Copies of this chain bind each other. A is one copy, B any other.
Amino acid sequence: MFSKSCEYAIKAMIFVAQKSKENLRVGIKEIAKGTDAPEHFMAKIMQDLSRRKLLHSAKGPNGGFYMDNTDLKNSIADIVKAVDGGSFYKDCVLGLKVCSEKNPCPVHFEYKAIKKNLISMIENNTLADFNEKLETGKFFLKNK
Contact = CB atoms under 8 A, between A and B. Distances in A.
Q: How many copies of this protein are present in the complex? A: 2
Interface in A77-133: 93-99, 103-108, 110-111, 113-114, 117-118, 121, 125, 129-130, 133
B139 A98 contact: no
A144 B105 CA distance: 13
Q: Interface size bucket, A side?
A: 35 or more
Interface stretch (A4-12, A19-27, A52-60): A4-12
Contacts of A97: 36, 142-144
A93 B3 CA distance: 10
Contacts of A139: 104-106, 108
A38 to B, nearest CB: 14
Interface of A: 1-2, 4, 7-8, 10-11, 14, 36, 76, 93-99, 103-108, 110-111, 113-114, 117-118, 121, 125, 129-130, 133-134, 138-144
5 contacts: A2-B95, A7-B94, A11-B96, A98-B143, A107-B121
